[in-house]
Amino acid sequence: MNGRSKVYVEGARADIRVPFTEVALSGGEVPVRLYDTSGPGSEPEVGLPQLRAHWIAEREAGGVEVGGAAFPCRTQLHYAKQGVVTPEMAFVALREGLDEEFVRAEIAAGRAILPANVNHPETEPMIIGKHFLTKINANIGTSAVSDSIAAEVEKLTWAVKWGADTVMDLSTGKHIHETREHIMRNSPVPIGTVPLYQALEKVNGDPVKLSWEVYRDTIIEQAEQGVDYMTVHAGVLLRHVPLAARRVTGIVSRGGSIMAAWCLAHHEENFLYTHYRELCEIFAKYDIAFSLGDGLRPGSIADANDEAQFAELRTLGELTHIAWEYDVQVMVEGPGHVPMHKIKENVDLQQDICGEAPFYTLGPLTTDIAPAYDHITSAIGAAMIGWFGTAMLCYVTPKEHLGLPDREDVKEGVIAYKIAAHASDLAKGHPKAQERDDALSKARFEFRWQDQFNLSLDPDRAREYHDETLPAEPAKTAHFCSMCGPKFCSMKISQELKEYAAKGMAEKSEEFLDGGGKVYLPVVETR
């Protein structure tokens, strides 16, 4: 993009080079550096360079003893609790503009996670936690009616170009393994999955035929490919299922409904819950982070904050603390559909019950009346819940509830959520959040149109909208736009007022100097 370039800032180690987008500004203004998720770029069949391979190799010795059983532990949480600042933590500190020790301490306390599977060396380290920049996730993936691998890799590249901090591959169609392999090898951001979807494919789509063995094998398969975090619906218990019976929209989570069906068919407890400690051992070996799924999240405004939702949340709190026993990183998923006045309660309860583990929410949508505009209904809730302390926001596209999103839908969803995340960072007072706002505001007041375009989230669209009515090149320096025209532009008038005031001050200054420059003048009596 014009006026933008990628630069790298080196850390204390020569092999730590953090990417930023640098926006060159006119008028002698200092360039602005922006957080960059786009990655180095690659040929899909070749993949990205393995940025972290050397760091991982350095750490490959040793294990840790937990609960009386020795097993390999390669997690960022494990190292953080031992007081070690890993290269990944140093990378994140430079990326966020924060102190390395602060990053380590937040991970050690469980308030932040650094998702980075040892088998995904291509990823550029990032962090998810309430004291860091609010992150956003974009969902991609094939379905039974749309299963192009090339299209999904393109969606991945497109999503990270526009600012997705993580991407979830929610493929449910054919070629799940092959699709994920191409996504992993081409992703500079952490990749999440819902392993239950692939496990279900292995039993021909019949939830009743699912088993712990099938699920475990699927987990290991995905772990070997490098999946960084996995949504696990271990909090949907048999006793919770009847609580959803009175809902308007029942159980809307795919994973939640699958596990509820299994529990009822077998009249047994959720096998993800009963085998959870075994999951922890597997996750510790690969440094996979739990994304504890909210299988009973509300799917309508009428069902928000009900007993089913909060009963599951209490179980997720229990599971969070068990994972920490194994030094496994955890974030907790949240709703859903929640009216504005009920949003804060969700964050407060989750932070209390789950020991301040990062909260990761889908929106929430603040009203149910706007199919085709749910990227807006949910971005409202996302901005609020981010302000209250949610660490990562899962995007919603205009196609939510209607169909599989295409390339343009992905962009619309990402942009809507970048706005929500940034608004929440401003409200939280993140130390670097306002720099971009201030630079753009100054450019706007000084009619530096190209700088305004280049500082915006979508420079191409900003430029396109401006040029619809004022396409000529001289309009890029004009002191007005087509909204107000040359005579009614408030900023042009404000500039003239400043100039008038400055001129008046200069005249008064001359008058002061002509009078001898004295503060106190002798009293002149008049009769």
By three-state DSSP, how is residue 65 classified?
strand
Same domain, 285 and 424: yes
Domain enclosing residue 424, as ranges? 129-428
In a shared domain, residues 391 and 522: no
**31 falls within a domain:** no
Number of domains in the chain: 3
Are residues 458 and 514 located together in one domain of the fold? no
Q: How confident is the model at residue 45 (pLDDT cuts 50, 70, 90)?
A: confident
DSSP category for residue 287: T
Per-residue pLDDT band at 175 (split at 50, 70, 90): confident
Q: 163's torsion region: left (phi>0), alpha (psi -120 to 50) or beta?
A: left
Q: What is the pLDDT of residue 513?
A: 78
Q: Supply the pLDDT for residue 514.
A: 77
Last residue of a domain, one of 428, 452, 473: 428
Please report, in angstroms and rounded to a whole number, the separation of the first and last CA atoms in the chain: 74
Regarding whether 194 and 321 lie in a shared domain, the answer is yes
Q: What is the pLDDT of residues 73-99, one digit of tens each?
A: 889 999 999 999 999 999 999 999 999
| Mean pLDDT along residues 430-439 | 93
User: Are 380 and 520 contained in the same domain?
Assistant: no
Strand 64-66 relative to strand 32-35, pairing:
unpaired
One domain for residues 303 and 419: yes
Tell me the pLDDT band of 306, cut-offs 50, 70 and 90: very high
Cβ neighbours of residue 509 closer than 8 Å, sequence gap 6 or more: none
Higher pLDDT, 522 or 354: 354
pLDDT for 495 equals 67
Closest listed residue to residue 431, CA positions, set 6, 131, 85:
131
Report CA Rg, the chain.
27
pLDDT, position 68: 40
- Percent of the chain clearing pLDDT 90 (strictly above): 78
Q: Provide the pLDDT for residue 487.
A: 63
Burial group, residue 253, by CB count within 10 angstroms (0-12, 13-18, 19+): buried
Residue 299: per-residue pLDDT: 97
| C-beta separation of 381 from 364 below 8 A | yes
Residue 82 within a domain: no
Please say whether the beta carbons of 204 and 181 come within 8 A. no
397 and 440 belong to one structural domain: no
pLDDT tens by residue, 277-297: 999 999 999 999 999 999 999
**Are both 373 and 470 inside the same structural domain?**
no
pLDDT in tens, 217-231: 999 999 999 999 999
Query: Is residue 478 in a domain?
Result: yes
Tell me if 510 is assigned to some domain: yes
Other Cβ atoms within 10 Å of 377 Cβ, number: 21
CA pseudo-torsion sign 114, 116, 121, 126: negative
pLDDT in tens, 449-482: 999 999 999 999 999 998 888 776 765 666 656 5
Mean pLDDT of 425-446: 94
- Residue 483's pLDDT is what? 57
Per-residue DSSP letters for 298-337? Answer: -SSGGGTT-HHHHHHHHHHHHHHHHHHHTT--EEEEE-SB
Query: Rounded to whole angstroms, how far apart are CA atoms 372 and 362?
Result: 16
**In this structure, are 459 and 316 located in the same domain?**
no
According to the model, what pLDDT value does residue 60 have?
Answer: 81
- On whether both 401 and 275 belong to a single domain, the answer is yes
Over residues 95-151, the pLDDT tens digits come to 999 999 999 999 999 999 999 999 999 999 999 999 999 999 999 987 766 668 888
H-assigned helices in 97-228: 100-108, 149-161, 176-185, 195-202, 212-225
pLDDT for the residue 132: 98
Q: Give the model's pLDDT for residue 69.
A: 46
Q: Which of 471, 486, 501 is the last residue of a domain?
A: 486
Indicate whether 499 belongs to any domain.
yes
Q: Cis peptide before 27, with omega less than 30 degrees from 0?
A: no
The tokens for 178 are 């092959």
Q: Which positions make up the binding site?
A: 139, 168, 197, 233, 253-255, 294-297, 333, 337, 360, 401, 481, 484, 489
| 180-201 pLDDT per residue, tens | 999 999 999 999 999 999 999 9
Q: What is the rounded CA–CA span in Å between residue 380 and residue 363?
A: 8
Report pLDDT for 301. 98
Torsion of CA 450, 453, 456, 458, to 10 degrees: -150
Inside any domain, residue 459: yes
Average pLDDT for 320-334: 99
Residue 79's Cα: distance from chain center in Å?
A: 24
Taking a C-beta distance cutoff of 8 angstroms, is the pair 290, 331 a contact? Answer: yes
- Output the known binding site for substrate: 139, 168, 197, 233, 253-255, 294-297, 333, 360
Residues in binding site for [4Fe-4S] cluster: 481, 484, 489
The annotation places the binding site for Zn(2+) at: 337, 401
- 483-511 tens-digit pLDDT: 566 665 676 667 666 776 777 777 777 77
Alpha helical stretches, state H, 326-388: 343-353, 374-388
pLDDT of residue 279: 98
Same domain, 478 and 508: no
254-270, pLDDT tens digit by residue?
999 999 999 999 999 99
CB-CB contact of 209 with 259 (8 Å): no
Does a structural domain hold residue 107?
no
Whichever domain contains 302, its CATH number is: 3.20.20.540
Same domain, 472 and 502: no
Task: For helices 195-202 and 212-225, give the axis angle rounded to 10 degrees.
Answer: 120
Amino acid, single-letter form, for residue 136: I
Residue 503 pLDDT: 75
Q: In this predicted structure, which of 48-52, 58-62, 161-165, 397-401 has the lowest mean pLDDT? A: 58-62
Whether 123 is in a domain gets the answer no
Mean per-residue pLDDT over the chain, rounded: 92
Q: b/e per residue, 477-511, with b = 16+ CB within 10 A?
A: eeebbeeeeeeebeebeeeeeeeeeeeeeeeeeee
Residue 37 burial (CB count, 10 A): 24
Tell me if 400 sits within 8 A of 374, measured CB to CB.
yes
Q: Is the pLDDT of residue 66 over 50?
A: no
